[in-house]
Chains A and B, each alone.
Chain A
Amino acid sequence: MHLLLPEIFMLGMICIILVVDAFLSEKLRDVTYHLAQGTVAITAVLTFFNSSETPVYLMNHLFVSDALSLVLKLAVFILISGVFLYSKDYLKDRNLYKGEFFIMVLTAMLGMQVMISAHHLLTLYLGLELLALSLYGLVAMHRDSSQAAEAAMKYFVLGALASGMLLYGMSMLYGLTGSLQLDQIAQVIAKGELNKNLLTFSLAFILAGLAFKLGAVPFHVWLPDVYQGAPSSMTLLMGTAPKLAGFALLMRLLTEGLGGLHADWQIILIVLAILSMGLGNIVAISQTNIKRMLAYSTISHMGFLMLGILTGTIQGYNASLFYVLAYSFMSLGAFGMIILLSRAGFEAEQLEDFKGLNERSPWLAFLMLIFMLSMAGVPPMLGFWAKWSVLTQIVSAGFFWLAVLAVLFSVIGAYYYLRIVKLMYFDKSQDNTAIETSSEMRAAISVNALSILALGLSPQILVQLCSHVFK
């Protein structure tokens, strides 16, 4: 039972913060902030000390605690803590610094925790909905912005459609196998007595739903609009931690539940991956809004993530885990930088806003340089090792042509990351307003960037961590 302690603690704290916040005046909102940060920190400690390397099933097999859940959850906690830290000043300037923000981010985090350690179709779905509902609420929170309202509406309608597809596929699977529990589903499929047509039928719906949630082409149309329209701190949240939860969702469903259908989902993932990498990288080139550009870059990274999974090997899963961890921290930094350069009444979301950043603040320009080079996959950054590990696995699984395509698209993608570097270092800035940031935020983003640099110089730390997860 103690393995569930972090979740129970989280839920308790959410309720406490909800009540405490209601009695706080506007000036004391910082108390809520510190309570939320403290909750994340204590939950992280509880998770670290209440975990098990070998899978342990709880709550009638609805919950599992294993190495994957430990690694992903700890990463989610760090990311959420970073989201709180980065968005504090941004939200204050925009009159969004409210208790509801903290509550909904924490419930989103609880949803991710549930998803990550789900061993049952019910918990997978409920965790996903908890996460998604919190995100819808957060995107819509900026009520005076028509852009945010539009983004929230699109996100909500398409998200509901995706959930419907996922649920339909799951219900077919339940009808076929007679169980909602992932290992039992795998056992029934392994017997090979089921109708193959129907199984692939349900698989198609499940994968369509998953691709929608992850934003893989051709189910990606909502993603750029939502990333652009949402307030930057909500984009920061959406672009980081939920990707880890999405990875967990893919792994749990496809490998633990539908591992027997590997040959079928491999083909679908190949198509999704090629389309996502291609369209994401090519369309990103023509964007002038950096949030939109990073949205297309997200799409291409999700394609890359699928490459590792579709190999169907333990090493491939490890490579994908490495990739998604590296990506989420780079993404935290890149979106964090947009927030950092924004100020009251000004959003630094156009590419022009990065012009001549080196003159205005050499240190921030250097940090952004690290994020961009890492995302582009330039050695010796972390992003390079992440791409490298996925590519070696895809080659050893016999998909040489796929690796060539992936490299090709990455080279195309490098253009728009390097363009930002060019804008920062070689162009004259039009805007000479001093960049005002709190010292804690500056310190946080420095740590963020330098850790990416350090991990890039000694990637074996992360590689070894990942190799412990899937055995």
Chain B
Amino acid sequence: MILKVIFYLFSAILVFAAVRVITAKNPVHAALNLVLAFFSSAVIWMLLHAEFLAITLILVYVGAVMILFLFVVMMLDINMAVLREGFNRYLPFGVLIGALILLEMVLVVGSKFFKTTAPVAENISNTLMLGRALYNDYIYAFEIAAVILLVAMVAAISLTIRPPRQTKYQHPSEQVKVKREDRVRLLKLPAEKSE
């Protein structure tokens, strides 16, 4: 009973926060609402005994990613009015399409499937099992995911790096070795005749 109350409470908060993320006018509010959404979903994961995922979500997303995000939002003075110019114009159409797709999917799928009956395993460390699966059964997929991150890094750097500006500095050795011919140019000017 108490679990159900917690579940519905945090689900409601999650849905509310998620809606606020896309409707908030102030980007800082949107980012903070996203933090709230992450936190509520972490609690729901906790209810499913997925403590490792819950902790990772908070540590990685709330602790690192969202803080960076907030930094970026505060440092770059983004004019949100320009960004959301098209938002209201396309909103009715987007909502219509989304609702149609949702309706179609609900008609086909419904909620009568995907009900898990498997009991939640007890006395087994979630972290241990995840680690085993990741590093034994799925090591190949894990490595490929690592390569994808590497590519993302290479691509991001190659798209943003600018070559160092050519600074003008002096070479003393060149200056010492300079010869008269390099600097002095003799010009033959016709003598001016006096009238």
Interface residues of A (CB under 8 A from B): 11, 14, 18, 59-60, 62-63, 98, 100, 103-104, 107, 110, 114, 120, 122-123, 126-127, 129-130, 133-134, 136-137, 140-141, 143, 175-176, 195, 197-198, 201
Add 7 more A-B contacts to A126-B141, A130-B148 (CB < 8 A).
A14-B147, A18-B154, A62-B138, A120-B141, A126-B144, A133-B148, A133-B155
Instruction: Determine which residue in B145, B152, B155 has the highest number of CB atoms from chain A within 10 A of its CB, and name it.
Output: B155
Contact B109 A198 (CB under 8 A): yes
Within 8 A of A (CB), among B44-88: none
Q: Does B147 lie within 8 Å of A11, measured CB to CB? A: yes
7 contacts between A and B (CB under 8 A): A100-B155, A110-B147, A123-B144, A134-B151, A137-B154, A197-B108, A198-B108
Question: Shortest beta-carbon distance, A449 to chain B, in Å?
Answer: 33
- Nearest A residue to B148 by beta-carbon distance? A130
In Å, the complex CA distance between A60 and B138 comes to 7
| Interface SS of chain A | helix
Known: A107-B151, A133-B152, A195-B113. A114 touches B144 (CB 8 A): yes
The answer to whether B154 and A126 have CB atoms under 8 Å apart is no
B154 contact set on A, CB distance < 8 A: 18, 100, 103-104, 107, 137
Which residues of chain B are within 8 angstroms of A98 by Cβ–Cβ distance?
Answer: 158
Q: How far is the CA of A195 from the CA of B108 in the complex (A)?
A: 11
- Centre residue among B108, B109, B147, B151 by max chain A CB count within 10 A: B151
| Whole-angstrom CA separation of A114 from B147 in the bound complex | 11
Q: In the bound complex, how far is the Cα of B151 from the Cα of A137, in angstroms?
A: 9
Give the residues in chain A near B122, CB-CB below 8 Å.
none
Q: Knowing A114-B144, A136-B155, say if A201 contacts B150 (CB, 8 Å).
A: no
Q: Does B90 sit at the interface, judged by CB under 8 A?
A: no
For residues 88 through 145 of chain B, which have their beta carbon under 8 Å from a beta carbon of chain A?
105, 108-109, 113-114, 136-141, 143-145
Task: Tell me if B159 is interfacial: C-beta within 8 Å of chain A.
Answer: yes
Q: Of A98, A133, A175, A195, which is in contact with the most chain B CB atoms at under 10 Å from its CB?
A: A133
- Within B149-163, the residues touching A (CB, 8 Å) are 150-152, 154-155, 157-159
- Closest A residue to B160 by CB, please name it: A143
Given the contacts A140-B159, A175-B114, A201-B109, A59 and B139 also touching, CB distance less than 8 Å: yes
Q: Is the CB of B144 within 8 A of A133?
A: no
Interface size on B, residues (CB 8 A): 24
Q: Which residues of B contact A114 (CB under 8 A)?
A: 144
* B152 contact set on A, CB distance < 8 A: 133
Chain A residues, CB < 8 A from B158: 98, 100, 104, 137, 141
B159 CB contacts on chain A under 8 angstroms = 137, 140-141, 143
Mark each residue of chain B from 167 to 191: 1 if its CB lies under 8 Å from any CB of chain A, else 0. Answer: 0000000000000000000000000
Among all A-B residue pairs, the 7 with the closest Cβ atoms: A137-B155, A100-B158, A59-B140, A126-B144, A62-B140, A122-B141, A107-B151
Residues in B with CB closer than 8 Å to A137 are: 151, 154-155, 158-159
A174 to chain B, nearest CB (A): 10
Inter-chain contacts of A201 with B (CB < 8 A)? 105, 108-109
A11 vs B150: C-alpha distance in the bound complex, in angstroms? 11
- By a CB distance below 8 angstroms, the chain A residues around B144 are 114, 123, 126-127, 130
Chain B nearest CB: distance from A471 CB in Å? 27
Q: Which residue of B lies closest to A152 (CB)?
A: B159
A14 vs B150: C-alpha distance when bound (angstroms): 10
How far is it, in angstroms, between the C-alpha of A159 and the C-alpha of B105 when the chains are bound?
22
Q: Are A130 and B147 in contact (CB under 8 A)?
A: yes
B151 near A133: Cβ-Cβ < 8 Å: yes
State the Cβ distance, A245 to closest chain B Cβ, in Å. 14
From residue A129, how far is it (CB to closest CB) to chain B in Å?
Answer: 6
Q: How long is the Cα–Cα vector from A11 to B147 in the complex, in angstroms?
A: 8
Q: Are A122 and B155 in contact (CB under 8 A)?
A: no
CB distance from B193 to the nearest CB of A (A): 52
| Assembled-state Cα–Cα distance A137/B150 (Å) | 12
B143: chain A residues within 8 A (beta carbon) = 11
Shortest distance between the CB of A215 and any CB in chain B (Å): 22
Residues on B with beta carbons closer than 8 Å to the beta carbon of A175: 113-114
**Chain A residues near B151 (CB, 8 Å)?**
104, 107, 130, 133-134, 137
User: Does A198 lie within 8 Å of B113, measured CB to CB?
Assistant: yes
Bound-state CA distance A168–B168 (Å) is 56
Chain B residues with Cβ below 8 Å from A18 are 154
- Measured CB to CB, the closest approach of chain B to A300, in angstroms, equals 29
Known A-B contacts A60-B138, A143-B159; the reply to A126 vs B145 at CB < 8 A is yes
Distance in angstroms from A326 CB to nearest chain B CB is 30
- CB of A117, distance to nearest CB on chain B (Å): 11
Q: Are A129 and B108 in contact (CB under 8 A)?
A: no
Specify which of B108, B109, B140 is in contact with A63 (CB 8 Å cutoff).
B140
Q: From residue A134, how far is it (CB to closest CB) to chain B in Å? A: 5
Whose C-beta in chain B lies nearest to the C-beta of A140?
Answer: B159
CA gap between A11 and B144 in the complex, in Å: 10
What distance in Å separates the Cβ of A435 from its nearest Cβ neighbour in chain B? Answer: 31
- Find out whether the CB atom of B141 lies under 8 angstroms from the CB atom of A62: yes
B6-39 interface (Cβ within 8 A of A) = none
Complexed CA–CA distance, A272 and B150 (Å): 35
In Å, the complex CA distance between A176 and B109 comes to 11
Complex Cα–Cα for A103 and B138 (A): 25
With a cutoff of 8 Å between Cβ atoms, the chain B residues found around residue A176 in the complex are 113
Contact B141 A123 (CB under 8 A): yes
Residues of the B chain whose Cβ atoms lie less than 8 Å from the Cβ of A130: 144, 147-148, 151
Instruction: State the CA gap A62–B138 with chains docked (Å).
Output: 8
* Cα separation A136 to B155 with both chains bound (whole Å): 8
Question: How close is A155's CB to chain B, nearest CB, in angstroms?
Answer: 13
Cα(A104)–Cα(B154), bound, Å: 8
- In whole Å, how far is A222's beta carbon from the nearest beta carbon of chain B? 19
Interface centre among B105, B113, B114 (most CB of A within 10 A): B113
Q: With A and B bound together, what is the CA distance between A114 and B105 in angstroms?
A: 32
Which residue of chain B has its CB nearest to the CB of A60?
B137
Bound CA span A195–B112, Å: 11
Q: Which chain B residues lie closer than 8 Å to A60 at the CB level? A: 136-138, 140
In the docked arrangement, what's the CA distance between A168 and B144, Å? 20
Report A-chain residues with C-beta under 8 Å of the C-beta of B114.
175
